[in-house]
Every structure is written in structure tokens, then in C-alpha cells.
Amino acid sequence: MGQAHKISDAIVKRLPAYYRYLGDLQTQGITRISSKELGARMGLTASQIRQDINCFGGFGQQGYGYHVAELKACIGDVLGLVRTYNMVVLGAGHMGQAVAQYDGFRHHGFCTTALFDPDTNLIGTKIAGLPVYSPQELSHYCRENTVNIGIIATPMHAAQTSCDALIACGVYAIWNFAPVDLVTPDSVAVSNVHLSDTLLVLAYHMQKNLHAELE
Amino acid sequence: MGQAHKISDAIVKRLPAYYRYLGDLQTQGITRISSKELGARMGLTASQIRQDINCFGGFGQQGYGYHVAELKACIGDVLGLVRTYNMVVLGAGHMGQAVAQYDGFRHHGFCTTALFDPDTNLIGTKIAGLPVYSPQELSHYCRENTVNIGIIATPMHAAQTSCDALIACGVYAIWNFAPVDLVTPDSVAVSNVHLSDTLLVLAYHMQKNLHAELE
């Protein structure tokens, strides 16, 4: 998997979108697509599409385009979607519960198994069929169960402590919903959900539409 | 604002991250930054930073770098953050409540004013101090109040209907949390929150770290 090391962060960030669009094409029964058509759907140029796909060893055929299923499988492979991942959620407030119940990633092999929250009203209950434990039980739980990813959905002030607790339990991947920059060792993979970013992009498009109307 | 039309989608998507990083620099008391340093923080090359910033009429000075506050103000201007936006949330389940209570964007001028949900147990109550109304009251509410952005946090099957209702009420910007591709007229700005995308990027980095360890 030496190739994985050469992929730039910018391309890595585009991979999920490729994966999503190719899945949509499959659903629509489309088996082949040109870089131009794929680019038009994704808001990229044909040349950028070809550059990206070349980067992870993808394969188009001049005049025939890309084979949708093969390309999707190849990207899934690069993304590591050939296995399953067990996840726990720290923080069973609204965000934690929303993420635990969100069904947009279960079919990719990501499975939430438990929530942790200090609220004694929640401990011992079930949320979306999943048990809620005290944070003090985290290390025991991680010894008894495989936990690949820790989801941080705590209030801001508890995010770093939660992150440290996960790492101490040997969890080396953090999906962070708190609007905080976590401090972690290099060996820990962190992906931050910056909700505001998509909102700012929306503001941009709103005013662009407004200006277009006024012209 | 003719310049706004020339900015590519790829750059628009990076603008919120620029805005965020520049805000962090301000908090740290840093007033100037070179394209190289900014690039290192953002995972971009110095040349890409310069190209991006040139695109929206930014101004660096050879050898002096960018003035952090000026550049941030310029990007805020391009993003349309010079005004306030009123938002309503359709769907007062966990995701809707989480978004209504999320405090990561209020300081950018985005203000949630009400939630709408068909659940009769919720109608008439308050969530995070905000009133919950029946969806049937949406059009009346939109006539009486300024609503700039509609947030869709409904179950998948209700997302398109909710979107249509917002557009019928004259709301031309949709922030969509449902894992559904909405069908909208060109005059409507839509920004989708694809939660799974950040999770897939995390999976990629996890396996990259794993391979690095094995080498």
C-alpha cells in the first residue's frame, strides 16, 4: 500500500465525494462514465478528475471512460472500506444521540456499539438500542470490546479530556464534533467535523445568487 | 462584486477553512503570516495559497506576507459575513436540536429563531429557548418574520417535502443535514452536510498510520 502515502490531503478530502457520486451512478444503473461527465457532476474539470484518479492508480480507457463499479471499489480500497469499524460515542447529548442514530455510514462498515456520558439519568438506559455507560467504564469497555474509533460529541470543555481518555484506552482514531482543536500524538488520526464550514459556503452561494439577480 | 463570480467551487469550499485559520491566528496574537506558514498550517502549498488568495483579490506583500486581520476581513466579505442571517430548523429530532443548540456559528452572524416539527409532544414547547411550531405554521411564520436560511434536519423521507415547503415560503437557501440529494431550482442555494465524508477521511488516515507502523 505504498501508493497511499503519495496521495495529497486535498485529494484524500475529495475521495469520499468520488465514492458517493460513483455510488449514485451505480444506483442509477450507469456502468461507465467519462472524466468530463464525472467532472460536470462533481464541479471539477475533466483534467482534475484524471489527475486525481491517476494519483491512486485508477484506470480510465481513452474513449471509454471509467468503469463505475471498478473505480468505486478501487477508491473504497484506498479509503480502507474493506473492513468494519467499531465506534463509541463520548457525550450522549443531542449531537451524540444524532450521530449514534445517523444511518448514513452504517452501510460503509461503521458500527456504533455504545455511548458514554456522565449524566446519571442516562447511564444504564439505551439510546437507539445502544447502552449508555459512565465515562469511568470506558477503559473496561475498551479492554472487553474492540473499539476502532472514538466519537467526541461532548461539550467543548470536555472534549480534550475525552480525547485523552480514548487515547489512554488505545483508541487511535478520533471523529471530533466539538468545535475545538484537539491536541494528539502523531500516531492518532483525527477528523474534525466543522459544521460551520458548510454554512459559510451556503452564505457565499446565497449572496452570489442575489447578485446574479440584481445584474 | 463581479469578482465573486470568478471564484471556483474548489476555492469557495476552502474559504471557510481560511477564515477559521486566520481567526485562530488572530486569537494567538499573530498579525502577519507568509503563504508558506499559512500553507503549512492548512496542508496546502505556498503557491496554492497565493493562487487562491489572488483569486478573490487578496493582497500579500513580497517578503512581508499577509496581514491577518485584513485578509480575514476580505474573506469574510467574499463569504457574505457582513450581515446577519435568520435560520429556522425543520425537524426537531436529535439532529435538529443539536444544530439549534450548536454554538459554533452564532458569532458569524447566523441566528436560529424557531424549530418546526409535526410531533405534537414538541409543538408549543421550547428547545434551547426557541419555540417549536407545527410545520403547518411555517408559511405564516415566514410572512411575519425574516427567514434567510432553512435547515433540514428531518428524517430522509420528509426532506424533499420540507425543502419544497421552504421554497414555497420564499426561503432561497437550504442547509441540508438529511443524507438525500434535494431537487431545487437554480435560484436556490443548497449546502449539504455529508457527515460520512469526514468519517471516510478518518478511515483513510487510520489505515495510513497503521501501514506506517508496519513499515
**What's at B24, amino acid-wise?**
D
Three cell numbers written together for A130 = 445502544
B207 vs A87, higher pLDDT: A87
pLDDT at residue B1 greater than cutoff 60: no
Question: pLDDT (tens digit, 9 = 90+) per residue, A63-109?
Answer: 788 999 999 999 998 888 888 899 999 999 989 999 998 877 877 88
**pTM tops 0.95:** no
Please report residues of A whose CB lies closer than 8 A to that of B195: 99, 102, 104-105, 193
Instruction: Among B80, B104, B110, select the one facing A207 at the smallest CB separation.
Output: B80
Amino acid of residue A156:
M
Q: What is the pLDDT of residues B144-168, one digit of tens each?
A: 999 999 999 999 899 999 999 999 9
DSSP letter string, B57-78 = T---BTTTBEEHHHHHHHHHHH
Q: Are A7 and A56 in contact (CB under 8 A)?
A: yes
How many whole angstroms separate alpha carbon B69 and alpha carbon B25? 9
Cβ neighbours of A10 in B, within 8 Å: 43-44
Mean pLDDT of A58-62: 69
Strand runs labelled E in chain B = 32-33, 66-67, 85-90, 110-116, 126-127, 130-133, 149-152, 173-176, 189-192
Is residue B148 within 8 Å of residue B86, measured between CB atoms?
yes
Please indicate whether, in this complex, the C-beta atoms of B204 and A105 are within 8 angstroms of each other. no
Q: With beta carbons less than 8 A apart as the criterion, state whether A15 and A79 touch.
A: yes
Q: Per residue in B6-30, pLDDT tens?
A: 688 788 888 998 998 898 899 899 9
Q: Which residue of B has its CA nearest to A75?
A: B204
State the pLDDT at residue B31.
Answer: 93
User: Which is higher by pLDDT, A159 or B60?
Assistant: A159
3-state secondary structure of B127: strand
- Whether A156 contacts A139, CB under 8 Å: no
Nearest to A174 by CA among A161, B194, B20: A161
Tens-digit pLDDT profile for residues A126-142: 998 999 999 999 999 99
Going by pLDDT thresholds of 50, 70 and 90, the confidence category of residue B5 is: very low
Question: ipTM, 2 decimals?
Answer: 0.82
Identity of the residue numbered A84: T
Cα separation, B201 vs B111, in Å, equals: 30
- Report the residue of chain A nearest B178, measured CA to CA: A104
Helices A9-27 and A35-42: crossing angle in degrees, nearest 10, is 100
**Which residues have C-beta within 8 Å of that of residue A39, sequence separation ≥ 6?**
A45, A46, A48, A49
Q: What is the pLDDT of residue A129?
A: 92
pLDDT value, residue B184: 94
C-alpha cell at A30: 450507469
What does the buried/exposed string (b/e) look like for A9-19 if buried means 16 or more CB atoms within 10 Å of the residue's CB? eebbbbbbbbb
| Residues forming beta bridges with residue B32, ordered by sequence position | B67
Predicted local distance difference test score (pLDDT) of residue A3: 47
- Pull the grid cell for residue B65: 506576507
Tell me which DSSP letter residue A65 carries. B
- DSSP conformational letter for A135: G
CA distances A131 to A88, A117, A125, Å, are: 10, 11, 6
Angle at B2 between CA A212 and CA B8, to 5 degrees: 85
Which chain A residue shows the shortest CA-CA distance from B151?
A: A199
Interface test with B, best of A204, A213, A214 (most B CBs within 10 A): A204
User: Which residues from chain A sit within 8 angstroms of residue B191, using beta carbons?
Assistant: 198-199, 201-202, 205
Residue with grid cell 460529541, as numbered in its chain:
A153
Contact predicate A153/A99, CB 8 Å: yes
CA neighbor of B180 nearest in space, from B81, B57, B90, B51: B90
